[in-house]
Structure 1
């Protein structure tokens, strides 16, 4: 029987915030909840009681008496804490000792690193809120950020929230058309931007891009520019002026569902979906995930490598809700070396470091036996991992490097709810290649195509009960049609996330990848993550992309694209080894039809491989219909796949590609 790679000790359980919360719930509701499973079961069977307990345990304030925690549990349409008046920023800004550090603003080597105390954070938020208010910006208006991951981005968001205005942001690595495709939808009243950022040893001057974006937003009445790289942005109010002075901090109480922010889907096709979340739902959900799952509190330092384009930036800001110090980082995770994040974790005394499976795989390949090296990492208690499935081999390597007392907190969720569906907890064991279990108050299940619950088999990840951070609506979707189509069209009244999962007999969860890019050969389904888990461990492979392409004639083509380490050729020996690895580690039924050397794998700006758009290209769809180059990290790669797809679908050669890059696997 497989053994856990991490198990909580009695002292871990005793010290965990989730234990204190459990005791509070037991006393409040006259319960006995000896295990995480018992607590989770109670939380999903008694949603109103659970969320009322969260509200009370974390002392959430409302200026009016709130109604019941959950009035109706319909999905969509659940009603939470009717009549309450609160503010996300108000709760956050009453945390923290005034003289302790709230934000560490770190920059890549060569840039500035500074700190912001809780006193200075509150002062800047109050001053910026006054500047916004004096320019007529208030409830219902939108304030947008085109910013790197810096302290200024956090201040801008909190000032916006304090006013009851709505925030949205994207990083400056987005080209202007991609930023405009998102932020322009909102018809913002204010733009907060920067003159540039640092990445991979270079200063990226974005002053002209910021000015261009401003010109494309005719509704903007106020534009503010942060000086990060010394370039400045002409014609905009300086950040230092916008945040100057001492003013009272007066967060405006708003209804529970009042819009807090708009976050955007990856947007690989069509206009990116703007997903609107409310103050109350996000506040409660982030308190739960940050304190009870991440186990963060006032003595912790929280660092998740992210950008303001991704929901993990919102989760990083949520660390402030429990008084933790957060690290905002403007730079590459792998400069000046691949282990740069570990250097920062050691330098800043990080207790929870968040990253991606891809980054960890890069560390494993670059320095497989000496991650800790000269670093003490003596306060590191956990490594959070999300964005893709974490291979078992990578998890085992990480535990070997960091030791058995560092919890590997693998999590899977979505921008849609800006939190996790399944994850880790300080009282749950961790198994390699698995996620420990469902998050509290998340009714996770796996459904087969007929809508029946399955255990031990692959199914669709569904949520059968409402969550307070489910979207209020989509932007520009007045009738809610796109919203319902996105989540409820397959199983009416049940949220379908679009991921394949397996719920094991012990309650842990295995993520297999996106259900709409699933490999379905001869009726046997497999997620692409299973193939990547096997193939990307080979030292010759930098990255892989697998597609399952259903042809109009009933055929099925499953190519594997591999990006090779420089100097390596795809010869017969390596090709056979790839096939043998997939047979042994994934499935003999899912050996690819072709192995093709590719110049690279394109991703969304949030790091997801473009499986579905590239699959549609191979089926003959036009490039313009399936992918917007502005949303892709390396758009020049798209042309290579377009040419391959055109050759494959040519009338005289419908099932073969004609490129020299092709390498056919043995039968």
Structure 2
């Protein structure tokens, strides 16, 4: 086995959500396990027991209960939680009452500067946008697509879409015209929400021509909504800010467990990108399970450095679903220098920061020593994915970033919007190794 680089204190391990879940299983189900692997074996053999425990422990909001956890045990064709009626957005908005003025979103944008949204503001803006979408004729099952950066606009638009049972799909604004069309033309969207330009590495990027081409090539569109930055509002478009003016109550359309929530895509390296549909209930349960491995909780402050075109953008909802503040960074991660992200981590007092392995390797090669340059006293956890994190990068993190930090690289995929290998807050970290299944 490789050298141990970090071991959690007993106090930290016992205070983790994973440990709390184990105590829940003992108290509520009479289940005890010798170690994590024994609990893992139970989770993949007693599917009804495990997933019903996840549902109960995480207090999944549903207007109608499921009649069974699995109605059909076959692949393909497995049927999960028939009878359940719910909405993914309710799992986020349930946190408003307990922390109405707390931070829901912190956004640091190279284009627009810093913004903060409380939980109440997030709910109210989602309700307003949803009311406008209904006015446009968007109903359950319609597709709303967006070309937006990793900012609060995309978050609000997604929640508004999901809350009415419509289906969301997102592309990053730096994607090419053909790449975006190859995705969106397959799903015949009713509404397009887009930002006409942005700032990256100090330079303004104008996207108006590409967006105009999208509008022409998507005949199913009934409305375009624009976030204007580089130019005037195009004729016939609605300004994004005008969608935030409605004093409307938050309402959610209840949908079956497997009703489509969002559409993501394969890379498109072999033919057209393949649309991948994830359902409301599946994402609720997958996110809940995954939050055990990230140790998310109310009051935490989380950021994963991601483009809006990467499945890690969707992973931000895993944290929000547990009442954790999500900090979003929209800009070049190396401008004006490689230290900009670490200053963001310090300034926002983040306790969990994740990024692609290439980011950490880039910082290491640039000779950064974040522990000497910024205050990382709040930082407790680091995540990595996208490619393997080298043993050298493990060593750099523990010697140059922080000695007492839980490093939890993960490996998963767009096709399941989840991970196969993750971290465990009660296990040691070994050089060059991920922690657990």
Q: With structure 1 as the length reference, what TM-score do the two structures score?
A: 0.64
SS in 1 for 2:116: strand
In the other structure, the counterpart of 1:156 is: 157
Q: CA RMSD in A?
A: 1.4
Q: CA deviation at 1:208?
A: 2.6
Contact 1:303 1:350 in 2 (8 A): yes
Aligned length: 434
In the other structure, the counterpart of 1:484 is: none
| Counterpart among 97, 100, 104 of residue 98 in structure 1 | 100
Q: Distance in 1 between matches of 2:82 and 2:427?
A: 34
SS in 2 for 1:77: coil
Contact 1:225 1:232 in 2 (8 A): no
In the other structure, the counterpart of 1:54 is: 54
In the other structure, the counterpart of 1:36 is: 36
Q: Distance in 2 between matches of 1:262 and 1:41?
A: 31
Q: Distance in 2 between matches of 1:232 and 1:418?
A: 37
In the other structure, the counterpart of 1:144 is: 145
In the other structure, the counterpart of 1:243 is: 244
Q: CA deviation at 1:48?
A: 1.3
In the other structure, the counterpart of 1:283 is: 284
CA deviations on 1:265-312 (whole Å, 9 max, x unpaired) are 11122110000010000011011212x011111111111111221110
In the other structure, the counterpart of 2:128 is: 127
CA deviations on 1:523-576 (whole Å, 9 max, x unpaired) are xxxxxxxxxxxxxxxxxxxxxxxxxxxxxxxxxxxxxxxxxxxxxxxxxxxxxx
In the other structure, the counterpart of 1:360 is: 360
Q: CA deviation at 1:22?
A: 0.9
Q: CA deviation at 1:230?
A: 4.3
Q: CA deviation at 1:123?
A: 0.8
Within a 5 Å distance, the mapping from 1:155-554 to structure 2 comes to 155-227=156-228, 229-235=229-235, 236-290=237-291, 292-368=292-368, 370-438=369-437
SS in 2 for 1:98: coil
Contact 1:423 1:436 in 2 (8 A): yes
CA deviations on 1:324-379 (whole Å, 9 max, x unpaired) are 111122211111111221111001111111111111111111115x2222311111
Q: Distance in 1 between matches of 2:152 and 2:170?
A: 14
Contact 1:82 1:256 in 2 (8 A): yes
Q: Distance in 2 between matches of 1:226 and 1:150?
A: 12
Q: Distance in 2 between matches of 1:81 and 1:232?
A: 48
Stretches of structure 1 lacking an aligned partner (at least 5 in a row): 439-667
Q: Distance in 1 between matches of 2:52 and 2:77?
A: 19
Q: CA deviation at 1:219?
A: 0.5
Contact 1:67 1:84 in 2 (8 A): yes
SS in 2 for 1:284: helix
Q: Distance in 2 between matches of 1:232 and 1:30?
A: 63
Q: Mark the CA change 1:430 to 1:225 in structure 2 (over 3 Å): closer, same or farther.
A: same
Select between 158-167 and 95-104 the one with higher mean Cα deviation: 95-104
CA deviations on 1:375-411 (whole Å, 9 max, x unpaired) are 1111111111000011111111111123332111100
Contact 1:198 1:330 in 2 (8 A): no
Q: Mark the CA change 1:232 to 1:119 in structure 2 (over 3 Å): closer, same or farther.
A: farther
Of structures 1 and 2, the one scoring higher in RCO (CA 8 A, sep 6+) is 2
Q: CA deviation at 1:201?
A: 1.5
Q: Mark the CA change 1:41 to 1:303 in structure 2 (over 3 Å): closer, same or farther.
A: same
Q: CA deviation at 1:25?
A: 1.2
Q: Distance in 2 between matches of 1:307 and 1:78?
A: 32
CA deviations on 1:466-511 (whole Å, 9 max, x unpaired) are xxxxxxxxxxxxxxxxxxxxxxxxxxxxxxxxxxxxxxxxxxxxxx
Contact 1:211 1:233 in 2 (8 A): no
Within a 5 Å distance, the mapping from 1:18-37 to structure 2 comes to 18-37=18-37
Q: Highest Rg: 1 or 2?
A: 1
In the other structure, the counterpart of 1:642 is: none
Select between 421-430 and 165-174 the one with higher mean Cα deviation: 421-430
Q: CA deviation at 1:34?
A: 4.3
In the other structure, the counterpart of 1:5 is: 5
CA deviations on 1:59-89 (whole Å, 9 max, x unpaired) are 1122123112123332222211111000000
Q: With structure 2 as the length reference, what TM-score do the two structures score?
A: 0.96
